[in-house]
Amino acid sequence: MDIIKAAEQVYNSYLLWYKLDELSCDNGKKLSSVISEVIDKNNTEIELKLNNTQYTIQVNYNNKENGSYELTALASNVISEVKHVSEYSDEDIIALWASSKVSFEKIPSKKDSRGFATYVRDEVRQKDVKVGGLGKMVPFNLRFHNFYKVIEMLKIDNIPLRKKLRLANNAAPGSGKTGDIALLKLLAYFANIPCITLVPTDLLKKEMHDFDRKFLPDIVADAFALSLNDNNTEYATSTFEEAFNEKWCAVNNLYDERSENRPALICIDEARELTQKPKLLKNASKLSCHNAMVIFTATPDSLLNKSLGIKQQILLSPKEKVAFEIGRLPIIHHSKIKSSNIQEVSQTVNSSQNLAPVQVINLARDYINKVENTYVKLNKKGNMVEQLGTTRNVTGNVSQAFINDVSQLLDSQSYKVGIIAAEEDQFDNIYDAIFSNSSLKEREEQSKRSLIRAVKELNLGLNDDRIELLIEENVNTQPVRNLLPSIKLCNIIDALNEYKKSSKIVTKDGIKTFIQDKYKITDSHETLNYNSQITDAIVELNGIRSEYSENVKRNYPADKKLHEYIFTTFPKIAAFCKQDVVVSQSVDKGISRLSIDEEGNSYQASYIVEDNTGNIKNMISMIKSGFVPYIISKELAVGFDSKKIDKAVVISTSSNSSVSDPMLLFQVMGRVGRSNRRGGSVFFDVFTTHDIYLDIENINALSGEEILAKLERGNQEYQRNRQSTVDLVAYDPLCHDNRITNGASRASPIAGWIGAVTNTITGVTNQLYFSLKNLIASSEHAQTHEVAQIQCDAADVSATLLLASVAAMKITGQKYIHTVDQASFSSETQANVWYITNDIIEKFEQALKNAAEKSGVTMTSLYFNPMSISSAIDNKIRNGQYSQVRDILYSAAKNVCTHSNQTEKFLDIIKGDITNIISNKTISNNSVASTAVKSIECLNNDKVPLSSINGIAVERIKGNLNNTLMYSGI
């Protein structure tokens, strides 16, 4: 089958299934309910009214014994081509229905056991394949937004498949990217294209099989469940290690350049983990040269995209997430500390020497102060205040009605589960800010005044004295540290209410199983018996006095009377809610648990480092489920998905800090508002002592493409301005061998590309760094220039070259990484090409600035991405086509300056500069490049005398490694 036709069939079949499941008639009834009622009456026709238009559906009972009823829509309209999911009207859906085979499946004995199914004609195997039906997971509209991008790429003319289908899907954990991968598998199956799906671990492979069984047609799920082996490389799901190492010969033999007449589709989940393993990345890069490839990462990665030849990206903005009903818009705030917020203290070294006052900046204190005084008016229907006022007058219970009014119309940042991304040197400041004993009464009064002002704006018909009295009696306005147990209790009550939705009787065994199945919380240790503690709390709360039953259903986090009653009546619940109220994670110390004692002070319960008993896994399940009020760690802030986190903050005291990376800011912002089903507001705050590289204030109004551009610019500025050495080791608390297993629905949720908070360092650099570091350290220990070894895989020359290219850049001071086909070029030639290309790009950037100044074009209106032309220049230089480099640069200049009145003058100036830039460029006799070549040759040797590394002094290598590795791009 033609691949475009196959893609459209996949799109249409799943879209129709999704739309039919969602469709409601004009009378408000779901389409599935209307059809079910008609089938119960054995009628053969159904009359539907959608948007005041009447439609007729015919029912065929030939397969009634199997619980399946074929449905035929009678409509004259025909859908000629696929459209974006947002453009389909009800009329379009009926037209699509009329041209498709659709059935309705129902089990008479089970009221809710019903569903639609559509059918796709498999032209290759000459059979109809059912999509959907009972027991299958209905997709949601984000799947179609992403797959529509694939269809657009496939429709590009005169480009082979291996070149046009090269896509990065930057899907955050928990956004359903496994569904995107499944649709690509189905596309390959119908188009008769080989398809291999690759994941980091065996656990993820199993989870992917389980998902496929719920989402794909059974026959397709079964095909992809087979292991990768010599007899099965057509459709398979495998791990990185298996495909790119253990069975690489078989994979490479099938999908090298000989496969270009029938390329495979390679889907790589959690692709950034490949950057931890240079050999595997090299093999993946080789595979990408001859096959179509789609990679899935949480955030964009220019180095990975370039290594794998990725051309297109998908990134959803906050507003697009809202449009697809997978998130809520955060309330965004950036606070750059002012001098009035700086506390001056004096330090005395000894009695004879006094130092001048030292400025101490406590961003965490400012953040907590904001949290304690932030009350947001919720967007509700216009007449809600009047309705609530009427209810209050009828019931006569002013306190209950007041709490009801406030809980539905006002939202506080104080009562939400939050995550804080910060460097470890800020942890103590954060602890102190959260658990501070200073001015408790004053802070409570300040919070109360903030709430009073917010309530007054609601116009509830109450005078000021009455409002103040009601707040005093009913609302918990204490400082943050005293609210932590209430936040935890609120989520325990949430679990009770969630369990009750199933209409099951509340029993200890039932709750215990529910907690384990839904939240993955167990009793991993006698001191971490979380499942039993939550179970006991829920069972006790289920028997609460009837006068509090409405409060439990409403579950307002600031319900003072309810919480005081529970903490007084159920001491075990009170003790549990004071336990593990703040959890932090650090690379060196593991996970730290902070609890509250009887006097209200914090104490450290313990560190969790080793995971022999599953303690870390259990703690992370507690965090993901919302049972930990505050989580502190930059790694945890980007390493897992939790729908219960409704506030997040980045605290940064240095513009060079890794938490200042625009990519990290964007990832942390993505931690909040993950569930559109939760009520209330979500908050994202940035507290810094400096300007930030990403304009977050306006980010809610941007599209995904606009955010991509801003992220790239911001990241380039961040990399240029960063002076200090960034973190070089990605740490995974669950996998001490650093085999990262990132993801939302897996055993190790905080694991993952934790070092990915900055794109400056990759796994490639890690390997080189530690090799050279060990080499230098051994030399210093011996105090002689003795022979040292750099371990290289003799059979892996290309990977060594890839490592050496990074070294060459570091030594020569160049900024851009160029991943090109190295097979037919010597190391000397390739190094010269890299050097010349980098030199041209640097001079071109300077020429752009000069031309802008001379022509009157503002620099802010120019945007140049050097990565966009580096590969093209590489190719021209390698092929000796120097004159064509001029055309590349001139075309880039025109793209840079497109909306200025001075464009013509700008281009006239730049034209002469371009001629000067490329003059006298050759790939020989370049001293700096020669140095890089010698570096590469030495690194290719198994044993290298330290004193012979191109005459480069040890101190010079050391100094270069200790500075920032400048890599321009996201």
**Three-class SS string for 16-40?**
HHHHHHHCECCCCCEHHHHHHHHHH
Q: What is the DSSP string of 808-863?
A: HHHHHT---------TTS-HHHHHHHHHHHHHHHHHHHHHHHHHHHHHT--GGG--
Q: pLDDT higher for 830 or 697?
A: 697
* pLDDT tops 70 at residue 765: no
> What pLDDT, on the 0 to 100 scale, is given for residue 468?
94
Question: What's the average model confidence in pLDDT over 758-786?
Answer: 38
Q: pLDDT higher for 924 or 81?
A: 81
The residue type of 892 is A
Question: Residue 751 in contact with residue 734, Cβ under 8 Å?
Answer: yes
In angstroms, the CA 732 to CA 741 distance is 8
Give the pair of three-digit tokens for residue 43: 């009628």
* pLDDT tops 80 at residue 961: no
Question: Residue 413 in contact with residue 647, Cβ under 8 Å?
Answer: yes
In angstroms, the CA 186 to CA 736 distance is 36
* pLDDT tops 60 at residue 760: no
Pairing of the two strands 330-336 and 682-688: parallel
Model confidence at 784, pLDDT cuts 50, 70, 90, reads: very low
> What pLDDT, on the 0 to 100 scale, is given for residue 442?
94
* pLDDT tops 60 at residue 627: yes
Phi, psi dihedral angles at 876 (to 5 degrees): -65, -40
Question: What's the average model confidence in pLDDT over 723-749?
Answer: 32
* pLDDT tops 50 at residue 65: yes
> What pLDDT, on the 0 to 100 scale, is given for residue 487?
97
The residue type of 948 is S
How many alpha carbons fall within 13 Å on the CB side of residue 684? 23
> What pLDDT, on the 0 to 100 scale, is given for residue 168?
93
The owner of tokens 């529509």 is 148
Q: pLDDT higher for 820 or 67?
A: 67
Q: pLDDT higher for 899 or 841?
A: 841
The sign of the torsion formed by the CA atoms of 178, 179, 183, 189 equals: positive
Q: What is the pLDDT of residues 482-498, one digit of tens each?
A: 999 999 999 999 999 99
* pLDDT tops 50 at residue 229: yes
Give the pair of three-digit tokens for residue 591: 């996970």
Q: How many other CB atoms are found less than 10 A from the CB of residue 395?
A: 11
* pLDDT tops 90 at residue 944: no
> What pLDDT, on the 0 to 100 scale, is given for residue 383?
57
Q: What is the pLDDT of residues 362-377, one digit of tens each?
A: 899 999 999 999 999 9
> What pLDDT, on the 0 to 100 scale, is given for residue 524?
84
**Edge-to-edge strand order for the sheet containing 166-170?**
235-239, 195-199, 265-269, 292-297, 166-170, 312-314
Question: What's the average model confidence in pLDDT over 726-739?
Answer: 32
Question: Residue 642 in contact with residue 738, Cβ under 8 Å?
Answer: no
Q: pLDDT higher for 791 or 545?
A: 545
Burial group, residue 533, by CB count within 10 angstroms (0-12, 13-18, 19+) = buried
Three-state DSSP class for residue 261: coil
In angstroms, the CA 65 to CA 571 distance is 58
Burial group, residue 814, by CB count within 10 angstroms (0-12, 13-18, 19+) = buried
* pLDDT tops 60 at residue 290: yes
Calculate the average pLDDT of the chain: 78
The residue type of 738 is N
> What pLDDT, on the 0 to 100 scale, is given for residue 259?
62
Question: What's the average model confidence in pLDDT over 917-921?
Answer: 66
Find which of 288-297, 352-361, 532-541, 658-667 is predicted with most confidence, using mean pLDDT: 532-541
Torsion angle in degrees (nearest 10) through CA of 624, 628, 630, 633: -50
**pLDDT over 70, % of the chain:** 75
* Eight-state DSSP code of residue 523: B
Give the pair of three-digit tokens for residue 772: 């050279």
* pLDDT tops 50 at residue 714: yes
Phi, psi dihedral angles at 546 (to 5 degrees): -60, -30
Question: Residue 502 in contact with residue 637, Cβ under 8 Å?
Answer: no
**pLDDT over 90, % of the chain:** 43
Burial string for 11-37 (b: 16+ CB within 10 Å, else e) reads bbbbbbbbbbbebebeeeeebbebbbe
Q: Which residues pair with 631 in a beta bridge?
A: 419, 583
Q: What is the DSSP string of 642-689?
A: -TT--EEEEEES-TTSGGG-HHHHHHHHTTS---TTS-S-EEEEEEES
> What pLDDT, on the 0 to 100 scale, is given for residue 21?
92
* pLDDT tops 50 at residue 762: no
Give the pair of three-digit tokens for residue 739: 């085999």
In angstroms, the CA 350 to CA 380 distance is 62
In angstroms, the CA 478 to CA 342 distance is 25
Give the pair of three-digit tokens for residue 597: 């004692």
* pLDDT tops 80 at residue 516: yes
* Eight-state DSSP code of residue 356: P
Give the pair of three-digit tokens for residue 646: 């409704």
> What pLDDT, on the 0 to 100 scale, is given for residue 474?
94
Q: Which residues pair with 411 in a beta bridge?
A: 376
Q: What is the pLDDT of residues 247-256, one digit of tens each?
A: 998 888 888 8
Three-state DSSP class for residue 708: helix
Question: What's the average model confidence in pLDDT over 53-72?
Answer: 91
Domain 141-327 has CATH 3.40.50.300: yes
The residue type of 477 is T
Report the 3 state secondary structure along 102-144.
EEEEECCCCCCCEEEEEEEEECCCCEEEEEECCCCCCCCCHHH
Three-state DSSP class for residue 251: helix
> What pLDDT, on the 0 to 100 scale, is given for residue 384?
56
Question: Residue 528 in contact with residue 622, Cβ under 8 Å?
Answer: no
* pLDDT tops 60 at residue 332: yes
Q: Give me the residue spans of the domains in the chain.
A: 1-138, 141-327, 437-476, 480-628, 827-938
* pLDDT tops 90 at residue 947: no
In angstroms, the CA 407 to CA 388 distance is 11
> What pLDDT, on the 0 to 100 scale, is given for residue 122?
94
Give the pair of three-digit tokens for residue 277: 């393993």
> What pLDDT, on the 0 to 100 scale, is given for residue 415?
95
Give the pair of three-digit tokens for residue 219: 């026959």
In angstroms, the CA 88 to CA 16 distance is 10
Pairing of the two strands 53-60 and 45-50: antiparallel
Alpha helices in 501-633 (DSSP H): 508-519, 530-542, 549-554, 560-569, 571-577, 615-624
* pLDDT tops 80 at residue 858: no
Going by C-alpha positions, the residue among 269, 258, 274, 272 that lies closest to residue 294 is 269
Torsion angle in degrees (nearest 10) through CA of 876, 880, 882, 884: -50
Q: pLDDT higher for 601 or 16?
A: 16
* pLDDT tops 80 at residue 830: no
Question: What's the average model confidence in pLDDT over 307-329?
Answer: 88
* pLDDT tops 80 at residue 525: no
Find which of 275-279, 875-879, 895-899 is predicted with most confidence, using mean pLDDT: 275-279
Model confidence at 882, pLDDT cuts 50, 70, 90, reads: confident
> What pLDDT, on the 0 to 100 scale, is given for residue 709?
87
* pLDDT tops 50 at residue 731: no
